[in-house]
Chain A
């Protein structure tokens, strides 16, 4: 009996491969086939450049000259490079300060836009403007706003009698850091606000009515209903916001090019400066590679943040 079932099993196992090769009937093989074009694109345009970057970081390649493998020499050099460490500090400051500001202001804006306002659709469209305008253009506008001689802010404050001399927005290290952060916040708010607004609109109004009858004040309604129900979408938005901010390049490049005295150099701008104008492709690639651990930790944070909470499990509505 035992032997019989065993041999039967073997027989069916032998029959199986023949079936598997009939492509049209196999979900697995068809799936693989349909995935190939997308996988090819990903490999060619994402995996290959990433691998090339990591490889370049371990060579002494210069513009116009193929390099040699030098191991971790570039990284050893960066370890003692104070400009590099300044750029790490700047990047962290820029990311943390801008992300917190974008979150707070974006959430506030989303809550305002979620009310019944006249011209609601129009206002919501307007809010997207900073995000629609090409970064380079808005950066140039900010460049004018921050200009040492013609700044409209300095001009207004002078007229109001609050200051006597123009503020050197982009020339003073502290002012420059604050200025680029403000420009980044201005640009990033729409993304946060519109996404959180979408999240707010999924919260049924009857929950607020139930909470009102239960005796919740507006603050308690936010604290106990809105905020907890918004946490999943906050995790998504803030992950993306942090990634975008950490890898920012355009805004800094147009406004300050990393100056004054490297006060606004981010890892991305420093990497570009060392690699292209500076010609040290290997070193620039190494700086870019050092961003990976930071980005990975942000992704891990989102991975845990995005996991479905217990209350989201079960049920089908």
Chain B
């Protein structure tokens, strides 16, 4: 097991730079998720760590050893691919044994290691099958088994769950996390799904356009996003945003939106009176109240019951806001009500730079 240090790493395809000097420290035994919208460079970064893409600038070291010029097989990493990349003409056993065979490991060692991995992943019954005869979830487990057998210093996962259906994805998510808790191998996991990132990661690296936007634990990112991008990307349903100007009234801070809407900002917000800002509030932090109470006047547009939660989409001024509630109100479209934001849960961002104030 090892730490992975990424220092000022750049990647350019021809003259087109896609990763602009990234720094990330990944500690020993950590489970780090690289997350971002498609095209943000997260897969490219993972492939550079694996050695499948040459590094255009900067340094990547694994376990203290700079690996820029080290071929993939000598980096002591294992990778799980999005499409599993199982060898279709080999049985499950042979798929898992392939790397050991190439290293001329002894037969008894191969047998023992493969059986052990199969046991961990509940694949013992399927060792004689071919990949085509397995379900998606089983194939995914074989792909992980192939990685486990090698006992590498680092596991790399490239969107491993995106080919599975929703239910299986949730199940495999838990399995991967449990596997990490058991093996404690440093893991780097790429996904575009922020829920996967939130649920699995010790540390999340949010990427956007080849830059790192924020690094932190899931709850840090959720509670204190450093900028508008992270605020909008992390959390589902997404945070509500309202444009406005900062107003100070003694100790209290407000954001004054269009149409005389007043959003209560949390205490301690920096920024000057009258500054252009964006106020953000998560759907779960908006309480539904009757039209008689104090709050933001709103008109119900769509109600989405999910069972645990009910999402209420309302028109607030000229924007649409989403409120999530665990209570079950008999709401109808066009009904008028008030949304009451939790004061300490509001976020204020500078409208020009997008940075948190």
Contacts and interface: CB of A to CB of B under 8 A. Distances in A.
Nearest to A216: B102
A209 B81 contact: yes
Interface stretch (A20-28, A126-134, A306-314): A306-314
B87 A207 contact: yes
Interface stretch (A74-82, A166-174, A190-198, A223-231): A223-231
A220 B73 CA distance: 13
B89 A214 contact: no
Given A204-B83, A213-B50, A229-B88, A313 B77 contact: no
B132 A214 contact: no
Given A204-B83, A314-B132, A228 B78 contact: no
Contact of A309 (B72, B89, B103): B89
Given A213-B78, A313-B130, A314-B132, A207 B85 contact: yes
Given A210-B79, A311-B130, A315-B133, A215 B99 contact: yes
The 8 closest A-B pairs by CB, nearest first: A315-B132, A215-B73, A214-B99, A210-B85, A206-B85, A314-B133, A311-B130, A228-B89
22 contacts: A204-B83, A206-B82, A206-B83, A207-B87, A210-B85, A211-B87, A212-B52, A212-B71, A213-B50, A214-B146, A215-B73, A215-B99, A215-B102, A220-B102, A224-B87, A225-B87, A229-B88, A311-B132, A312-B88, A312-B132, A314-B133, A315-B134
A316 B338 CA distance: 53
Interface in A208-249: 209-216, 220, 224-225, 228-229
B98 interface: yes
Nearest to A225: B87
B90 interface: yes
Interface in B37-84: 50-52, 71-73, 77-79, 81-83
Contacts of A215: 73, 99, 102-103
Interface residues of B, number: 28
A292 B221 CA distance: 76
Interface of A: 204, 206-207, 209-216, 220, 224-225, 228-229, 309-315, 317
A57 B72 CA distance: 66
Nearest to A206: B85
Given A213-B72, A215-B73, A216-B102, 20 more contacts: A206-B81, A206-B85, A207-B85, A209-B79, A209-B81, A210-B87, A210-B146, A212-B51, A212-B71, A214-B73, A214-B99, A215-B103, A216-B73, A216-B98, A229-B89, A311-B88, A311-B90, A312-B88, A315-B131, A315-B132
Contacts of A229: 88-89
A214 B81 contact: no
Contacts of A312: 88, 132
Contact of B77 (A206, A207, A209, A213): A213
Contacts of B89: 228-229, 309, 311
A214 B130 contact: no
A314 B135 CA distance: 11
Nearest to B74: A215
B59 to A, nearest CB: 20
B87 A204 contact: no
Contacts of B50: 209, 213
B253 to A, nearest CB: 52
Contacts of A228: 89
B191 to A, nearest CB: 17
Contacts of A224: 87, 98
A211 B71 CA distance: 12
Nearest to B79: A213
Contacts of B73: 212-216
Contact of B102 (A206, A214, A310): A214
A213 B51 CA distance: 8
A281 B82 CA distance: 65
Nearest to B139: A315
Interface string B130-161: 11111000000000001000100000000000
Contacts of A212: 51-52, 71-73
Interface string B78-118: 11011101011110000000110011000000000000000
B177 to A, nearest CB: 23
Contacts of A206: 81-83, 85
Contacts of B130: 310-311, 313-314
Nearest to B147: A213
B288 to A, nearest CB: 46
B133 A313 contact: yes
Contacts of A311: 88-90, 130-132
A86 to B, nearest CB: 43
Interface in B2-51: 50-51
A206 B86 CA distance: 9
Nearest to B78: A213
A7 B85 CA distance: 60
A317 B72 CA distance: 29
A155 B60 CA distance: 59
Contacts of B98: 211, 214, 216, 224
B127 to A, nearest CB: 14
Contacts of A317: 132
A209 B132 contact: no
A311 to B, nearest CB: 4
Contacts of A207: 85, 87
A136 to B, nearest CB: 42
Nearest to B52: A209
